[in-house]
Structure 1
Amino acid sequence: MKHISFPSSLHAMVAGLLLSNPAQAVHDVAPAAGADLPKPAIAVIAQGENAKDESAKDGSTADTSPAGKPVVYQVFTRLYGNKQTNNRPWGTKEDNGVGKFSDIDDTALDSIRELGVSHIWYTGVPQHALLGDYSAYGIDNDDADVVKGRAGSPYAVKDYYNVDPDLADDPAKRLQEFEALIARTHKHGMRVIMDIVPNHVARRYHSSNNPAGVSDFGAGDDTSVEYARHNNFYYVVGKAFEVPDTQAAPHTTPQATTEVTTEVAAGDTGRPHGDGQFAEMPAKWTGNGSRLAKPAANDWYETVKINYGVRPDGSRDFPPLPADFALKTAAEHYAFWLAQDSDKIPDAWKKFRDISQFWLAKGVDGFRYDMAEMVPVEFWSYLNSQIKHTNPDAFLLAEVYNPALYRDYIHLGKMDYLYDKVDLYDTLRAVVQAKAGTAEIAAAQAKVMDIEAHLLHFLENHDEQRIASPEFLNTATGNAFAALPAMTVSATLGSSPTLVYFGQEVGEDGSENAGFGQPSRTSIFDYIGVPAHQRWMNGGKFDGGQSTPAEKRLRDYYLRLLNLSRSAPALSGEYYSLDAANRGGDAKTAYDASTFAFARYKDTQKLVILSNFDKAGSKRLALRLPAELIARWQLPDGSYPLKDLLQQHVAELTVTKGLGSILLELAPLASAVLEIPHKP
């Protein structure tokens, strides 16, 4: 949820409203799994290593590594380079600082690339509503009554053809500064992803940079009707918008200062005050689908919903896709839409087509789509097939939370990847909290085996609680090391990409009280610092010079794991569950509800992966490899010394009469990635 910090379960509630579909930092004393990790010889993927020398549009070298699977690093751009550590609740950018495009310099990009990253998702780049005076640069000021936080929600976009002025050293040249960041990222062998928010825009959308022939959202709407195919918005005819009854502003204590900021009166360090008035006549439907002229405080009241040709009764006002188009290629989808009567294509579709093409021309390599399931799948067929026509290698990632829709959005909507949130993320979190056994992981993976290559895995992003927070663990204190078995499984279970949120690799716990955004999630609405990341950043050196020993050990683990995820051929190959074969009936093995094992393989590599989720107890395992797997691998009887690619456990595979057995002891929270040699 992008608009207010609600529990994840609210996603399911919101889905029912839609028209379009019927805290504690890493401890210096870390647990055993984080202590003095041995250093196996895993090569860090350097610029150009295992990559084709392929020229990007801007003349730089774009990473096209054929080996392995993508690793996506999410950078919240406003926060990433911020070096100020005041962290005053509701602080202004003068109080708490703000990161810039220029902070993500060559040194920063080297640090990211070292983690094995192939794609950087720069979050919060499009110009959005905020509380700051940029009128000198031709930007209209925003109204505090429809802005969340001081920095504003990055998902309340007010100009799709420009970027957030907060991020620029010179706001007049903000677009050029982002273009320079794109070029720098390409030079370092990584690709660029940015957000497109298709379901809604800021309540007061206005672009100062529209290309020739492009008009603002809503500029041509007939506001006398609730709905028309080419209207960009829905209207509450005859009624003016009313500001919702939000929480009363907290008591503020004046400071001994005469400083006056552009956002608030002198001495006011509390929540920004609106006047309860915002002129909008007639009122528009709110972003989450509320049809009230006065939305509720928990509605996405800072945004308005885009009309994609779905009538208020839910019927469709655009050409349907033929029944067999789930089997068609993106090129065939493109040809279908090219053949349609242009007047039957809703105007909003064309606007987002133009927006995506604008950014592709700037060198952006892909998009992350916010709340994609709130938009009809036919639109995605239209948009994504056009994007793939322009750039067949574009990386297209969608936020979809309803598993019943996964296959439609992949096959009909031509998405490359969807969040694997409702199944895998939720299951792994439950296992970490000891609310579920590891057998649930195998069950979750079995449900999606036909589409597993399209389901992006993560344990953190800007919506979710930090895994180092007490709230994630549901304990009194946080512990980033407690999630390492889950992260290992997340990164190696499937052949789809792995996502890491900046600061995750050094145990950021999100404990700051930022103002609008509350602790456990790093706030996306406020000006705030990210302490564990800032310690790694070390004033711009990005060398961990201020990091604790535990933070450095944690990052070292992530470096090994993510490079392994990126480079190991087997992790792009077949999956074989070892879970059922190792449960019950054998007193010799400690395999239980806190242990999980599976195999991954290709002709060139065979791996067995084991994790111990137990926070206190070691596991002495006699892991069984079934005859079916041994036969697939064509392993004759004999003994096979195993190489651990992650933590250098010592282990051996014994094959006797076509059955395999691995003896191994796993410390609490430890994992092993065991490589099988070709010959005994």
Structure 2
Amino acid sequence: MALDTNLSLRQSVIYQVYNRNHNHTGTFRELIYDLKRIKELGVDIVYLLPIHPIGKKDKKGSLGCPYSIQDYREVNPEYGTLEDFKDLIKATHEHGMKLMIDVVYNHTSRDSVLLKTHPEWFYKNDEGEFANRIGDWSDVTDLDYTKDVALWDELIDILKYWAALGVDGYRCDVASFIPIKFWIKARSEVAKINPDFIWLAESVDGGFIKGVRSLGYEVCSDSELYQAFDICYDYDVYCYFKDYLLGKSSLAEYVKRVQLQEYIYPGNYVKLRCLENHDQARIASLVQSKEQLNMWTAFNYLQKGATMIYAGQEASCQHQPSLFDVDKVDWSHYNEAGMADLMKQLAIIKKDPVMSEGYYEIELGTVGDTVYLSYESSVKQRLAIFNFSLKAGDLFMDVADGTYKNLLTQQDVIVKNKTVTLSNEPIIFDINK
């Protein structure tokens, strides 16, 4: 783990925005007007999908994929000008939030500036053609970090450029495919501009790592990435979570995988906890009821790590927007969904230092499909119970009998004979020492 990682990142809420589909115009200017609402959700960091011009050669859909980047040093005119982006940075800071942008350094578009000026920096297949090594990414071609150290210098210079403009962090696309030594050097160089810069790695799941290595390519595990990154995705456990929702696996299997994180990663690890993102189905499309949606949302906030919500999640959107076309977020159910109010409450709960400093445990409950979490510090113990099956019962918990207050509902939580009666709502309470 990067030694200077700030553990308060475990208390943070990240808000993911795909600018094209976020609002009516899809511009930086219009996003500025939404910052007040976003801040009121309890958000600390606004994270934008790639902001750069999109390649036209072999593009996907009508407008192309934002991860097929033509020029790392420019902004997509679809979103506005560089001055508009600078104003967005300033406005984000004025609202007390930080701004993170996507970095896509595994590949560029097939008509990128770098491919035209430095073709020697790119991977070629056995036929001598520009290509990508992994996946059906027909609109991009891969960079080759083994060819020329000048590539490293150029890419790091670009990172320093955006940091100097006021960007506060990078979410690094498929960071696992890029040499860890590059990321370590990049972190060191950017720290000269902003020592508090935030590094988020899109790490990949274990099956993907094995598959890539079987093809003879290098790919970093989460444990390796933590040498340079503050936060890694939780894709090492996400597939078990989704399989449970789809009835393909047990809750016990998912919990076991989350428990493993406590001793396979460094002691100061931070995981990104998200129920959905631009690559995954909307959580509202995967659960059966509003009660289950509330339960999983609360669980996501109370887990150890940074919470990320994807714009539209607070409106209980079920449709996953296309990356390649105009496909606007449906905000029409925002007020009736009630998720925004829940998220505001959960964000307040998450800001308590016990969420970053407390000794954390996650356990499978003794009744139905239940999970309980605990955080313990020198001043308090925080406990949270999640009844995913919504079945009645009494859950055994090894805590002192007494009457406590549910931090979400303000209702009494009664522990009697070391048991708590389950509810269709999340149960979160503190025991002060």
Distance in 2 (CA, whole Å) between partners of 1:435 and 1:575 is 31
Residue 304 (structure 1) aligns with:
141
The reply to whether residue 559 of structure 1 matches residue 344 of structure 2 is yes
Counterparts of 2:195 and 2:289, CA distance in 1: 41
Instruction: Tell me what 1:665 maps to.
Output: 422
**Residue from 460, 484, 497 that aligns with 2:306:** 497
Q: What is the identity, as a one-letter code, of the residue corresponding to 1:128?
A: I
Tell me the residue number matched to 2:131: 285
Distance 1:204 1:479 in 2: 46
CA distances 1:201-245 after superposition (whole Å, capped 9, x unpaired): 010012xxxxxxxxx445244xxxxxxxxx2113358x7xxxxxx
Task: Give the 3 Å change call, closer, same or farther, for CA 101–576 of structure 1 in structure 2.
Answer: closer
Which residue of structure 1 aligns with residue 250 of structure 2?
437
Q: Deviations over 1:589-643 (max 9, x none)?
A: xx12x1111211222332111011115x3x2314221xxxx6xxxx7xxx53211
Which of residues 151, 154, 158 is equivalent to 2:66? 154
The structure with the largest alpha-carbon Rg is 1
Say which of 406, 421, 429 aligns to 2:222. 406
2:322 corresponds to = 523
CA distance in 1 between counterparts of 2:289 and 2:239 reads 18
Q: What is the CA–CA distance in structure 1 between the aligned matches of 2:362 and 2:151, rounded to whole Å?
A: 48
> 2:164 touches 2:193 (CA, 8 Å); kept in 1?
no
Question: Which residue matches 1:54?
Answer: none
Partner of 2:107: 200
In the alignment, the residues of structure 1 paired with residue 179 and residue 8 of structure 2 have an alpha-carbon distance, to the nearest angstrom, of 33
* Structure number with higher relative contact order (C-alpha < 8 Å, ≥ 6 residues apart): 1
Give 1:480 deviation, angstroms.
5.6
User: Kindly, what percent of the aligned residue pairs are identical?
Assistant: 25
Give, in angstroms, the shift of residue 105 of structure 1. Answer: 2.5
**Residue deviations 1:54-78, cap 9 Å, x none?**
xxxxxxxxxx996961110001111
2:52–2:71 CA contact under 8 A, matched in 1: yes
Q: CA separation in 2, counterparts of 1:608 and 1:80?
A: 36
Corresponding position of 1:600: 375
- SS of 2:321's equivalent in the other structure is coil
**What residue in structure 2 maps to residue 486 of structure 1?**
296
CA deviation digits over 1:230-276, x for unaligned, max 9?
Answer: x2113358x7xxxxxxxxxxxxxxxxxxxxxxxxxxxxxxxxxxxxx
> What whole-Å deviation, never above 9, does each CA across 1:389-437 have from its counterpart, x for those lacking one?
33221111111114471111112xx1111100231x2233233334433
Q: Which amino acid aligns with 1:301?
A: S
Other structure's SS at 2:117 match: coil
* Greater than 6 Å deviation, 4+ residue runs: 64-68
Which AA in structure 2 matches 1:499? M
Q: Distance in 1 between matches of 2:159 and 2:115?
A: 15
Q: Which whole-Å CA distance do the structure 1 matches of 2:280 and 2:125 have between them?
A: 34
SS of the residue 1:652 aligns to: strand
Aligned to 2:19: 77
Instruction: Kindly provide the CA deviation profile for residues 286-317 of structure 1, in whole angstroms up to 9, marking residues without a partner as x.
Output: 3xx16xxxxxxx7212111101007xxxxxxx
Q: Which residue of 2 aligns with 1:118?
A: 44
TM-score, with length taken from structure 1: 0.57
> Residue 371 of structure 2 aligns to a residue in which SS?
strand
Q: Is the 8 A contact 2:9 2:270 kept in 1?
A: no
Amino acid at match of 1:440: E
Most deviating of 70-79 and 426-435: 426-435
Match of 1:103 in 2: 30
Secondary structure in 1 matching 2:70: strand
Q: Secondary structure at the match of 1:568?
A: coil
Tell me whether 1:570 sits opposite 2:354 in the alignment.
yes
Change in Cα spacing, 1:448 to 1:621, as seen in structure 2 (3 Å) is same
Distance of 2:78 and 2:360 partners within structure 1: 48
Please give the TM-score of this superposition, normalised by the length of structure 2. Answer: 0.88
CA distance in 2, matches of 1:73, 1:675: 27
Matched AA of 2:136: D
Distance, in Å, in 2 between the alignment partners of 1:219 and 1:111 is 43
What does residue range 214-253 of structure 1 map to in structure 2 within 5 Å? 216-221=114-119, 231-235=120-124
**Partner Cα distance (2:360, 2:270) in 1:** 18
- Return the offset for 1:120: 0.3
Cα separation, partners in 2 of 1:480 and 1:73, compared to 1, 3 Å = farther
Structure 1 residue 558 displacement after superposition:
2.0
Letter in 1 for 2:67: Y
State the 1:381 CA deviation.
1.5
1:99 maps to a residue whose letter is G
- Whichever residue aligns with residue 558 of structure 1, its letter is M
Q: How far 1:579 sits from its partner (Å)?
A: 3.0
Checking the alignment, whether the CA contact within 8 Å between 1:459 and 1:467 is kept in structure 2 is yes
How big is the alpha-carbon RMSD for the aligned residues of Structure 1 and Structure 2?
2.5
Contact residue 106 and residue 178 of structure 2 kept, 8 A: yes
Which residue identity lines up with residue 367 of structure 1 in the other structure? Y
Q: Deviations over 1:558-595 (max 9, x none)?
A: 22123322x12221133454636x53xxxxxxx12x11
Are the equivalent residues in 1 in contact too, given 2:387–2:422 (CA < 8 A)?
no
Q: Is the helix fraction higher in 1 or 2?
A: 2
Q: 1:526 and 1:480, CA in 2 relative to 1: closer, same or farther beyond 3 A?
A: farther
Residue matched to 2:212: none
Q: Tell me what 2:213 maps to.
A: none
| Residues 235 and 68 (structure 1), Cα distance of their counterparts in 2 relative to 1, 3 Å cut | closer
CA distance in 1, matches of 2:112, 2:231: 29
1:3 equivalent in structure 2: none
Q: Distance in 2 between matches of 1:74 and 1:624?
A: 36
Q: CA deviation at 1:200?
A: 0.2
Q: Give 1:620's aligned amino acid.
A: G
- Alignment-derived partner of residue 385 in structure 2: 610
Task: Note if contact 2:29-2:88 (Cα within 8 Å) is conserved in structure 1.
Answer: yes
Q: Which residue of 1 aligns with 2:92?
A: 185
Structure 2 counterpart of 1:621: 394
- The answer as to 2:431 corresponding to 1:646 is no
